[in-house]
Amino acid sequence: SVTLEHGSKRLGKRTDPMMGVWRNYGLGQFIHWGLYAIPGGHWDGKYYSGAAEWIRSWNEMPKNAYDELYKVFDPKAYDPKAWAKQAKDMGAKYMIITTKHHDGFCLWPSQYTDYSVAKSPYNKDIIGPMVEAYDAEGIDVYLYFSVMDWNHPGYRSKLETKEDEEAYEGFKEFTRNQLLELLAFYPSTKGLWFDGTWDQAWIQQAAFADELEEEMRSVIPGLIIGSRFRADENGKRHFDTNGDLMGDYEQGWERKMPNRIEDVNGNDWDCVMTVPENQWGYHSDWKGHVKSSVELIEMMVKAASLDGNFVINFGPDGQGNIRPEESLIAKEVGEWMESNAEAVYDCGYLDWEKQDWGYYTRNRKTGNVNLVVFNYPASGKLRVKVPKGIKIQGIDLIGTNGGTIDLEEIHRDEYFLGLPKGTDHTKPVVLVMKIVEGD
Ligand SMILES: C[C@@H]1N[C@@H](C#Cc2ccccc2)[C@H](O)[C@@H]1O
pLDDT digits (tens, 9 = 90+) for 130-162: 999 999 999 999 999 999 999 999 999 999 999
> Is the distance from the beta carbon of residue 103 to the nearest atom of ligand 1 less than 6 Å?
no
Give the pLDDT of residue 420.
86
- Give the Å distance between the CA of 196 and the centre of ligand 1: 7
Atom of ligand 1 nearest to the CA of 32: 16
Which stretches of 186-205 are DSSP H helices?
200-203
pLDDT value at residue 123: 98
Q: Is residue 332's pLDDT more than 70?
A: yes
* From 53, 146, 274, 275, mutation site for ligand 1 pocket: most ligand atoms within 8 A of C-beta: 53
What ipTM goes with this model?
0.99
High-pLDDT (> 70) share of the chain, %: 99
Q: Contact 142/127 with Cβ under 8 angstroms?
A: no
Paired residues of 192 in beta bridges = 143, 225
How far apart CA 396 and CA 285 sit, in angstroms, is 43
Q: Which residues contact 14 (CB under 8 A, 6 or more apart)?
A: 248, 268
255, pLDDT greater than 90: yes
Cβ of 92 less than 6 Å from ligand 1? no
Instruction: List % helix, strand, coil for the chain (3-state, nearest 5).
Output: 30, 25, 50
As a whole number of angstroms, the distance between CA 51 and CA 36 comes to 10
Distance from residue 75's CA to the centre of ligand 1 (Å): 24
- How far does residue 139's CA lie from ligand 1's centre (Å)? 25
The mean pLDDT of 30-50, rounded to a whole number, is 98
What are residue 430's DSSP bridge partners? 372, 398
Question: Cα dihedral sign for 109, 124, 148, 95?
Answer: positive
pLDDT tens-place string over residues 43-60: 999 999 999 999 999 999
What pLDDT does 424 receive? 84
Ligand 1 near 195 CB (within 6 A) = yes
DSSP string, 100-154: E-TT--BSS--TT-SSBGGGSSS-S-SHHHHHHHHHHTT-EEEEEEES--TT-TT
What pLDDT was estimated at residue 400? 63
Check residue 401 and give its pLDDT.
61
Q: Please tell me if the CB atom of residue 254 comes closer than 6 angstroms to any atom of ligand 1.
A: yes
Name the residue of 31, 96, 195 to mutate for ligand 1: max ligand atoms within 8 A of Cβ.
Answer: 195
275 within ligand 1 shell (Cβ under 6 A): no
Q: What are phi and psi of 133, to 5 degrees?
A: -65, -45
- Residue-wise pLDDT for 94-112, tens only, equals 999 999 999 999 999 999 9
pLDDT band at residue 180 using 50, 70 and 90 as cut-offs: very high
Q: Whose CA is nearest to atom 6 of ligand 1?
A: 196
Long-range pairs for 9-15: beta carbons < 8 A, 24 or more residues apart:
11/244, 12/266, 13/266, 13/267, 13/268, 14/248, 14/268
- Which residue, among 28, 143, 127, has the nearest Cα to 78 in the 3D structure? 127
Among 178-182, 234-238, 346-350, 374-378, which stretch is predicted with the lowest mean pLDDT? 374-378
Q: With contact defined as beta carbons under 8 Å apart, do 157 and 199 qualify?
A: yes
**pLDDT digits 0-9 by tens, 394-408:** 998 887 666 778 899
Which of 77-86, 190-199, 271-280, 423-432 has the weakest average pLDDT?
423-432
Mean pLDDT of 197-208: 98
- Is the pLDDT at 185 greater than 90? The verdict is yes
Work out the mean pLDDT of the chain and round it to a whole number. Answer: 97
- Which residue is closest in CA terms to ligand 1's atom 15? 280
418 pLDDT band (50/70/90 cuts)?
Answer: very high
Of all atoms in ligand 1, which is nearest to the CA of residue 53? 14
* pLDDT at residue 301 tops 70: yes
Q: How many angstroms separate the CA atoms of 230 and 247, rounded?
A: 8
- Residues 217-233 have pLDDT tens digits of 999 999 999 999 999 99
Amino acid residing at 360: Y
Tell me the mean pLDDT in the region 175-193: 98
238, pLDDT greater than 80 = yes
Q: Is the CB of 272 under 6 A from ligand 1?
A: yes
Q: Which ranges constitute the DSSP H helices of 194-344?
A: 200-203, 206-219, 293-305, 324-340
Residue 271: which residues within 8 A CB-CB, separation 6 or more? 253, 254, 256, 257, 258, 299, 303, 308, 309, 310, 311
The closest alpha carbon to 304, from 251, 369, 246, 240, belongs to 369
Radius of gyration of the chain (CA): 23
Q: Is 51 in the pocket of ligand 1 (CB under 6 A)?
A: yes
Measure 419 CA to ligand 1 centroid, in angstroms: 42
**pLDDT at 3 exceeding the cut of 90:** yes
